[in-house]
Structure 1
Amino acid sequence: MIDPTHVFDAEDSIRPTVRETPIVHSRALSASVDAEIHLKLENLQRTGSFKIRGATNYVTTHLETLQETGVITASSGNHAQGVAFAANRYDLEATIVMPESTPRSKVEATESYGASIVLSGDDYGAAKERAYEIRDRDGATYVPTFDDWTVIAGQGTLGLEVLRTRPDCDVLVVPIGGGGLISGISLLVKGLNPSVRIVGVQADGASTIARSLEKGQATTLDSVDTVADGIAINSPGTKPLSVIESHVDEVVTVDDDAIEHALARLLETDKVVVEGAGAAPVAALLSGAIDVEGEVVVPVLSGGNIDLDVVGDIVQAELDRR
């Protein structure tokens, strides 16, 4: 397991590539939940999500090897773009395997960073298997999505930015897919300020971490179903789960209606565009899943990569509910 020193080292490694994203006060959300809400706008990160942090730290840490082997990974979105961007930054050959159902906009965005794209399989699991086959055939190095300490340390740099900007933070609310982001943040934050309460948020239809904690063992879901595709993971990472068990105070779940409402609310009142995963922390606040009355709260808006037609559908559904 890593500690805060690894996150400080990661920040030094990624800073030439990764932006420090702003934290802004939300007057409207603060009034709605009777707390002081400050939004961590990671949707404004390069490539549109936090994933570039872990990918860049992995690349810089293993750069000498990767210059010989190149990199490969499987992803249908944010991790794909993070790896492609980091590889391009350090002149590495990169191959990204994406499911055949991946929206063309995400394929083109990943391709724009110089990666070679292979479309294979109906879902992430099938794409990952194909990536492993190519890795074994060509000798490329596979870049993990979340179950890796180097990646986790890179994601933890987001927590450093929060503590520097809002040292008065009482509660940090973080979306959870495989657990890489919240494990990196919690290792750093709890190591420096144990009094900060860290709450993870999953979608009801992809609650693999929540169920694993309830059962006391890693639990794989037969399927996932949520509008928040960025956290639609069916199995937790072994390393992230071990950190969440020891460092995260609470994990809650929210349904898709709450996520869609939060996404529309952020767009309407704060003029912020996020994807479903990025809206999940705000969904937990607005739905009352977390009690934060009177506290200083930082929800992490983890990404903003969402198709325009999806935004339109969500906004229309929100208008229909009024």
Structure 2
Amino acid sequence: MQETRLDTARIRAARRVIDPVFLDTPLYRCEALEAVLGCAVSIKLETANPVRSFKARGTEVIASRLAHNGSCAVVCASAGNLGQALAWSGRGRELDVTVVASRFATRTKLERIRALGARLELVDGDHEVARERAAAIARYDGIRLVEDSLDLETCEGAATIGLELTEAAPSFDTVLIALGGGALATGVGHVLKEAAPEVDVICVQPLGAPALTHSWHQRRVVTTDSTDTIADGVAGRCPIPAVLDDLLLVADDAVLVQEASIIAGMRLLLEHAGLVVEPSAALGIAAILEDRDRFAGRHVVTILCGSNVDVDAYRRWCAPAL
């Protein structure tokens, strides 16, 4: 039987080194959404923290270990949220942080990375190009390269969300998880399948960035030449084989949703929950909108994974709600 890379004991140890500001995030029933969606909906809110996303759960573990080992520098590639999180975690531990990003990344995210004190290098091209450049910097400078989803700290930091879900004495049937690189899905999925195996773990990805979903269905790595989605936080083209192996062990399904549904999900979260979220965080709501019959009568948890939005773009997407 194939074994996962994740380990529950390490996940519990990870929780002990994460700054409490990122832990025990709100989990609550949102009745206002239920009337619209036709099922019971609970929200796990991962946006009310200093970096407005779940990513710091993983970077806290990484930065803590680097500081303990006497390291002084680290580099990563990021669409924005990981870079902010690593900058925040590194700043508190006196690490020199370099973030490589596409110059086409969300401006608000890039500005926040700079504001948190990281050195930001922009590249032409998408996130995969940024990954290549970050790896080159790590080799040349001899420093730690953080690779989201490949590095276990990112997965096991995210997995602490799963601990909080299961410790809340859950009555939910399904958890909808945004699928990008796979750290959130594999981490949370691992905990749920160990502690609450009856809960369905469903991963959600945009139709315009389907690589890991196609890989899950075909049980082999499938890459794409490009991505076309407003959900920049999950817009990867080249799945990591080890991450796919982990995902195959914990995901019950992986689905794709349309851009219009993502925008509709963002509007519903604003109108009925008073929450501003980035497109990646609305993937779970989008999945319900596209398959109401599947979720009717069920209790669904959706993880709102980030709220770093470009204000102008958000106004365009959510104009009717505003």
Residue equivalent to 1:243: 246
For 1:252, give the aligned amino acid: V
Query: With structure 2 as the length reference, what TM-score do the two structures score?
Result: 0.93
Indicate how the Cα distance of structure 1 residues 114 and 290 shifts in structure 2: closer, same or farther if over 3 A, else same: farther
Matched, 1:24 2:23: no
Alignment deviations for residues 36-87 of structure 1 (CA, whole Å, 9 cap, x no partner): 211111122330111111111122234334x334101111310110111110
Matched, 1:305 2:308: yes
Alignment deviations for residues 149-169 of structure 1 (CA, whole Å, 9 cap, x no partner): 222111101111112235222
Distance 1:165 1:57 in 2: 23
Residue equivalent to 2:49: 45
Residue equivalent to 2:90: 87
- RMSD (Å), alpha carbons: 1.8
Unaligned runs of 5+ in 2: none
1:208-287 mapped onto 2 (5 Å cutoff): 208-287=211-290
1:144 Cα deviation from its structure 2 partner: 1.2
Aligned 8 A contact 1:19 1:46 in 2: no
Matched, 1:101 2:101: no
Residue equivalent to 1:202: 205
1:123-134 mapped onto 2 (5 Å cutoff): 123-134=126-137
1:247 Cα deviation from its structure 2 partner: 1.2
Three-state SS of the structure 2 residue aligned to 1:259 is: helix
1:128-147 mapped onto 2 (5 Å cutoff): 128-147=131-150
Distance 1:289 1:216 in 2: 27
1:290 Cα deviation from its structure 2 partner: 7.0
Which of the residues 287, 291, 297 maps onto 1:288?
Answer: 291
The number of residue pairs the alignment matches comes to 318
Alignment deviations for residues 89-118 of structure 1 (CA, whole Å, 9 cap, x no partner): 211111111222234322220112111112
Matched, 1:161 2:164: yes
Aligned 8 A contact 1:72 1:143 in 2: yes
Percent identical residues: 30
Residue equivalent to 1:77: 80
Alignment deviations for residues 257-315 of structure 1 (CA, whole Å, 9 cap, x no partner): 00001101111111111100000001101221672222221101111111111111112
1:202 Cα deviation from its structure 2 partner: 0.6
Distance 2:178 2:169 in 1: 19
Instruction: Tell which deviates more after alignment, 292-301 or 265-274.
Output: 292-301
Distance 1:291 1:166 in 2: 24
For 1:240, give the aligned amino acid: V
Indicate how the Cα distance of structure 1 residues 225 and 188 shifts in structure 2: closer, same or farther if over 3 A, else same: same
Aligned 8 A contact 2:58 2:153 in 1: yes
Distance 2:95 2:191 in 1: 30
Unaligned runs of 5+ in 1: none
Distance 1:16 1:43 in 2: 14
Three-state SS of the structure 2 residue aligned to 1:314 is: helix
1:238 Cα deviation from its structure 2 partner: 2.1
Indicate how the Cα distance of structure 1 residues 166 and 39 shifts in structure 2: closer, same or farther if over 3 A, else same: farther
Aligned 8 A contact 1:76 1:124 in 2: yes
For 1:145, give the aligned amino acid: D
Residue equivalent to 2:14: 10
1:242 Cα deviation from its structure 2 partner: 1.0
For 2:209, give the aligned amino acid: A
For 1:107, give the aligned amino acid: L
Which of the residues 182, 185, 200 maps onto 1:182?
Answer: 185
Residue equivalent to 1:55: 59
1:122 Cα deviation from its structure 2 partner: 2.4
Query: With structure 1 as the length reference, what TM-score do the two structures score?
Result: 0.93
Instruction: Tell which deviates more after alignment, 32-41 or 176-185.
Output: 32-41
Three-state SS of the structure 1 residue aligned to 2:28 is: strand
Distance 1:237 1:93 in 2: 27
Distance 1:212 1:103 in 2: 27
Aligned 8 A contact 2:204 2:256 in 1: yes
1:240 Cα deviation from its structure 2 partner: 2.2
Distance 1:230 1:28 in 2: 27
Three-state SS of the structure 2 residue aligned to 1:46 is: coil
